[in-house]
Amino acid sequence: MRAFLRPDDLRGLVAAHFGGDRRLVELERVTGGTKKGVYRLGLDDGTTVVLYVWAAGENYWPPAPAAVPDDPFTDASGAELFAAAHAALTEAGVGVPELLALDRSCRHVDADVALVGDVGPVRLERLLQEDPAAAAAPLAALGDALQRMHTTRNAAYGKVVAAGTAAGQRPAEDVIVARALGHLGAAAALDGRLADRHDRIAGHVRQLRDAVRPRTSFGLIHGELGPDHVAVTPGGAAVLIDIEGLTYFDVEWEHAFLQLRFGDFYPALRPVELDQDRLELYRYAQVLSLVEGPLRIAGTDFPDRDWMLDLAERNIVKALAAVQ
């Protein structure tokens, strides 16, 4: 059984960062996360803050298949990545929660933690579903933020905490092909339909890669930017959350995911000009990722296992349809 934080576990942390005269009066573990714990802390003066906890007991993900060299999307979790991403997005003028404290001492909690400003519970996903008119302003603001991110360029791809020189890097599209084939192999071991069509799917991936032209400049991308990862403040501002995966990479990777998650609302984001061949490769690679990842986490004690299995099934259908 997983043991999550209780109010008594956080008394010292609250006193250290807010003073001994401040008390924790309410603690809510925010559900939905898979890699870190997210807690809303209510203080005795009526204010709230949010605590991120990077602890093994908060991470539902089992070990991934063998790592792909140069892959910037592996192990996209941790306090160091969060701090680097927060700094890079702030510099780019993109809304993120206010960073109140980053504590890696483990003095109060046996994990790396961050205290951030509470931007509230409203997510853009909910507004798009329930009140599209109210979603229009934050959606436009998100489009502006993406323009700033995707035009922030770097000669090498990689996590912002480690992006350096492009020397010796293999083409980004080859990293994605290796990822896709790894996801295919792992998923085929769990689903007979994919196993039966493994070679045809792998051939389709390689065919898509052959159409992609070389590139030597990369934009700043979130990496997994669905409307559930965009908080909307009471004032209507768009704030990015779950930012640890921030990396320099092909913006087509971001837009393949944005198209999937935003659907009919995607054009309102006013995307930058995209390479359609690269976009098509990345779109199909993400389909395979959205089979392997959900099947892997569904084999754990993740509480919403059926949702993950449904997600995997939808993408299995997409993967197979491409090679009929």
Is residue 145 located within the same domain as residue 96?
A: no
pLDDT of 166: 66
CA distances from 60 to 6, 107, 120, 224, 253 (A): 19, 24, 24, 17, 25
| pLDDT for res 70 | 84
- CA neighbor of 270 nearest in space, from 141, 83, 89: 141
Contacts of 295 (CB under 8 A, 6+ apart): 186, 187, 190, 191, 308, 309, 312
Last residue of a domain, one of 59, 92, 117: 117
Which of 117, 143, 158 is a domain's end point? 117
Same domain, 133 and 280: yes
Residues 79 and 188 in one domain: no
Domain that holds residue 198: 124-321
User: Do 43 and 134 share a domain, yes or no?
Assistant: no
Read off the amino acid at residue 302: F
Query: For residue 64, what pLDDT is reported?
Result: 73
> Do 165 and 309 have their domain in common?
yes
Task: Say yes or no: 157 and 264 in one domain.
Answer: yes
- Would you say residue 239 lies in a domain? yes
Phi-psi group of 93: left, alpha or beta (phi > 0 → left; psi -120 to 50 → alpha; rest → beta): left
Q: List the Cα angle 134/226/29 in 5-degree steps.
A: 90
Query: Dihedrals φ, ψ of 169, to 5°?
Result: -75, 135
Residue where one domain finishes, among candidates 90, 117, 144: 117
The CATH number covering residue 284 comes to: 3.90.1200.10
Q: Are residues 284 and 169 in the same domain?
A: yes
251 & 212 share domain: yes
Q: Is 103 left (phi over 0), alpha (psi -120 to 50) or beta?
A: beta
pLDDT recorded at residue 62: 82
Which ranges of the chain would DSSP assign to H, the alpha helix?
Answer: 11-18, 79-91, 124-130, 132-150, 172-188, 192-196, 198-210, 251-262, 276-298, 305-321
Is 144 inside a domain boundary? yes
Q: In the prediction, which pLDDT does 164 show?
A: 66
Indicate if 143 and 268 belong to the same structural domain. yes
How many distinct structural domains can be found in the chain? 2
CATH number at residue 92: 3.30.200
List the pLDDT tens digit at each of the 324 positions of the chain.
Answer: 788 999 999 999 999 999 988 999 999 999 777 899 999 999 999 999 999 999 999 998 887 776 787 899 887 889 999 999 999 999 999 999 999 999 999 999 999 999 999 999 999 999 999 999 999 999 999 999 999 999 999 999 999 987 766 656 899 999 999 999 999 999 999 999 999 999 999 999 999 999 999 998 999 999 999 999 999 999 999 999 999 999 999 999 999 999 999 999 999 999 889 999 999 999 999 999 999 999 999 999 898 899 999 999 999 999 999 998
- 239 lies in the same domain as 91: no
Is 25 inside any structural domain? yes
Q: Are residues 174 and 55 in the same domain?
A: no
pLDDT at res. 167:
59
